[in-house]
Structures are given as structure tokens and as C-alpha cells.
Chain A
Amino acid sequence: MNLDKVLKPNIIFNVKLFGAVIPITESIIMMWIVMAVIIILAVIFTRKLQTVPEGKQNVTEIVIETINKLIKSNMGEHWKSFAPFFGTILLFLLFSNMAGIFNIFPTASELYQITGMHFFKQLPEFSIASPTKDLNVTLTMALMIILLIPISGIKYKGVKGWCKGFLKPTPIMLPFNILDYGTRTLSLSLRLFGNILAGFIIIEMLYAGSVFVKPIIPFASLFFDLFDAGLQAYIFVFLSSLYISEVIE
């Protein structure tokens, strides 16, 4: 496995817009796919809602109630305006972290090796992988959360109340409270990125290994693509709701 290929953004094609060239990378396309899957599932699962739930509506209600309960226990009285936002982020991260499990289609270079047709050599290299193994994606998510902290603080407590929050619990903590905005961005984004990338690299190494390590792959995939992915999505939402509840209460 080439580590350089894993770390560098894999540009599939370029879009020319108003004279500027915008590279469309693999993680952007994966995010589009994840978004499309979530939208289709949302449309299917919320059709024909009834007062007495039956069938797929039960699943919808369980998902919504779980998210509401999680946000309610973290945020207290203002949970209602944040629950849809955090629910969306939780579902998006869950689906994008677990996307690596669908890595079943051969890439263009593998197809070229199998068939020997030069047609496949011209195609861009695209494989289904978690978009969150790209630092650009997770950093964007973390910046979104960090920007939401002062906005929600100012909305619920006013500019003065938000600024007073920097002096809590004692005025000596002021530099640390300001520093928190930087370290929280770093830790939120790097935690998600590091966990998903580590799982991806370990599974790729197992694929490149000998016949004797091949039986481990399903169990490793089960752990990294299902358990760890779900846990990291939950932790991301949990920590960000904690950060925001700190400001608005």
C-alpha cells in the first residue's frame, strides 16, 4: 500500500467555474453519495406518517427519540432548537464512517490489471471509502461546531453574557478559555480523522498481507467499520453538544 496515495487528496476531475478551477476529490464525491443515501432513506421512511405507527414508521420514531434523548440529557432546556442539527450531523457521520464497509468494487487500476484493457487506465482512480478519513472533511465539521459555539452563546445570553463566560470559573482561566477554541477544533477533527484513518490503514495492511491473516479481515472490518465508526460519530456529537451546552447555560 502506498501511504502517499492515502494521505494526498485524490482528485477525480476538475470543474471550471468563473475562471477558477475547482478540484473535485474522492471524499467530496463520497459525501455526495452519503448525502443522497440519507435523503433517499429520509424520504422513504417519512412517507405516510400515521398517528398509530406501524412498520417502518417505528424505526423512524426510535431513531428520532434516541437522538432527542441524547441531546436532551446533554443540553437541558434549549435542546429543541439543537436536536435537528445534531441529529443530522450524527446520521451523516454514522453513514460516512460506515461507508468503508461497502468497498467491494474494484478500482480502475485493479480492473486494468485483471482485464488488461487500456480503456480502464484512462479512468480516474475511485474507490468507496469513508470521506472522514480525509482531514479536510473532519476539519470542516469541527470548524462548523466551533463557529456555532459563539453564535449560540450570543443568541441565548447576549454578547455580554457570552464574554462573561470566559471568566468562569475564575478570571485566571481566561487564557485557557480562549485557547480552548483552538484545541477543541484540533482535538475534535483529529480524533475523528485519526480513528477512521487508523482503521482504514489496518484493514488495507491486512488485505496486502499473507493468506494466514486473511481470516482476520471480517472481524477487523466489523470492529473498525461498525463499532468504532458508530462510537466516533456518537462521541463527536456528544462532545460538541457538551461544548455548546457549556456556553448557553
Chain B
Amino acid sequence: MPTSGFVAIGAGIAMLTGFGAGIGLGIASGKASEGVARNPEASGKIMSTGLIFATLSEVTAIFGFVIAIMLIGKL
């Protein structure tokens, strides 16, 4: 099939979602550790809220990964 190369390129482009997710995760975890350094007593609460937002920003990368897998499956 002549279009299979474009499908592969599309799968690669879909994985660019990891770019934004990485930045988001970095900001979230950096701010969380900053918060723990300022207020060590609240580390439990910061841990759980930080985990929620980390997973929320991570899910965009996972969606991109699933799209890439679907595209690769079409090859």
C-alpha cells in the first residue's frame, strides 16, 4: 500500500503528545515538592492532590499513545 508511510508518520506525530505531558508533569511535581519544602506537615495532602494532577496531565500522553497504536495497527 503506498499510503503506509504516511500512516507511520502520523503515528510518530501522535506521540508528540508526550511533549506537553512531560512539561505538565514536570511543573506539577516541581510545585508539589516546593509545597512540601515550605510546609512539611501537609506532605500527605500535597502527595494525593499532586498525584491527581499528575495523572490528569499524563492521560493526554496516554491518549496519544493509544492513537499511535491504532494507526500502527492499520499498517
Contact = CB atoms under 8 A, between A and B. Distances in A.
A194 interface: yes
B48 A238 contact: yes
A190 B73 contact: no
Interface residues of B, number: 14
How many of chain A's residues touch chain B, expressed as a range?
10 to 19
B51 A195 contact: no
B23 interface: no
Interface in B32-75: 44, 48, 51-52, 55, 58-59, 62-63, 65-66, 69, 72-73
A191 B58 contact: yes
Contacts of B66: 190, 193-194
Contact of A7 (B58, B63, B69): B69
A73 B48 contact: yes
Given A190-B62, A195-B62, A238 B51 contact: yes
A113 B73 CA distance: 27
Given A191-B62, A238-B48, A3 B72 contact: yes
B59 A190 contact: yes
A235 B55 contact: yes
A240 B69 CA distance: 26
Interface in B4-52: 44, 48, 51-52
Contacts of A194: 62-63, 65-66
Nearest to A235: B55
Nearest to B56: A187
Contacts of B48: 73, 238
B73 A7 contact: yes
A3 B7 CA distance: 15
Contacts of A4: 73
Interface string A1-31: 0011001000000000000000000000000
Contacts of A235: 51, 55
A198 B52 CA distance: 21
Contacts of B69: 3, 7, 197
A178 interface: no
A195 B18 CA distance: 13
B73 A239 contact: no
Most interface-central of B55, B58, B63 (chain A CB within 10 A):
B55
15 contacts: A3-B72, A7-B69, A190-B59, A190-B63, A190-B66, A191-B55, A191-B62, A194-B65, A197-B69, A235-B51, A235-B55, A238-B51, A239-B52, A239-B55, A242-B52
Interface of A: 3-4, 7, 73, 187, 190-191, 193-195, 197-198, 235, 238-239, 242
